[in-house]
Amino acid sequence: MFNLIPWRERKDVDLFRREIDSLFDRFFEGWPLEALKGDAQWIPSIDLSETNKEYIVRAEIPGVDPKDFDISLSNNVLTIKGERKHEKETKEEDFHRIERAYGSFVRTIQLPGEVDENKVKAKYKDGVLEIILPKSKEEAVKKIPVKSA
């Protein structure tokens, strides 16, 4: 293909190719695609939702004993720590591929508003950790109806 492009314009094509390569390099660096590397930590997926009275955090963390979670809240920053331990290896099996990730993890989430730290509840069921964070009285959202003129 380069034989069809005059030499003076080829410099522009090389520059364009380097820019595209740089764009892809920047796009694929860091989280979340960092987990594709073999030595990367496992990172659970998290949903953060809001109702009028509370924030709800749901984290998909299968295979972890609820006693192994370390959940803390400080200055409206929620931190979830834990470890998913590797299952017992079976000597009769020769694994050709292991795609499930194991190891320790830490997720930190900045909450969008003030919460009542004394009323926070957490439950774990079917591999999903759910944390209910009631809003503080000042942060409770009041809906304002709009009337047509």
- Residue 53 belongs to a domain with what CATH number? 2.60.40.790
* Residue 53 within a domain: yes
Half-sphere exposure of residue 75, counting CA atoms within 13 Å on the CB side?
1
Q: How far apart are the first and last CA of the chain?
A: 65
* Residue 109 within a domain: yes
Q: Share the mean pLDDT of the chain.
A: 79
Q: Which residue has the higher pLDDT, 24 or 75?
A: 75
Task: Report the percentage of the chain scoring pLDDT > 70.
Answer: 73
* Residue 14 within a domain: yes
The tally of domains found in the chain comes to: 2
Whether residues 21 and 60 fall in one domain: no
**Which range among 9-18, 32-41, 68-77, 94-103 has the greatest average pLDDT?**
68-77
* Residue 73 within a domain: yes
Whether 133 shows a pLDDT value over 70: the answer reads yes
Whether residues 7 and 63 fall in one domain: no
Whether residues 55 and 111 fall in one domain: yes
- Predicted confidence at residue 88, as pLDDT, reads 61
Whether residues 24 and 52 fall in one domain: no
Task: Report the percentage of the chain scoring pLDDT > 90.
Answer: 34
Whether 30 shows a pLDDT value over 70: the answer reads no
Q: Give the residue-averaged pLDDT of 108-129.
A: 93
Q: Give the residue-averaged pLDDT of 58-68.
A: 90
Whether residues 49 and 118 fall in one domain: yes
Whether 91 shows a pLDDT value over 70: the answer reads no
Whether residues 22 and 46 fall in one domain: no
Half-sphere exposure of residue 139, counting CA atoms within 13 Å on the CB side?
17
Q: Give the residue-averaged pLDDT of 27-35.
A: 55
- Predicted confidence at residue 121, as pLDDT, reads 95
Question: Can you tell me the distance from the alpha carbon of 47 to that of 53, in angstroms, rounded to the nearest whole number?
Answer: 17
* Residue 147 within a domain: no
Whether residues 44 and 72 fall in one domain: yes
- Predicted confidence at residue 94, as pLDDT, reads 73
What range does the domain containing 79 cover? Answer: 39-86+101-139
Q: Give the residue-averaged pLDDT of 39-61.
A: 87
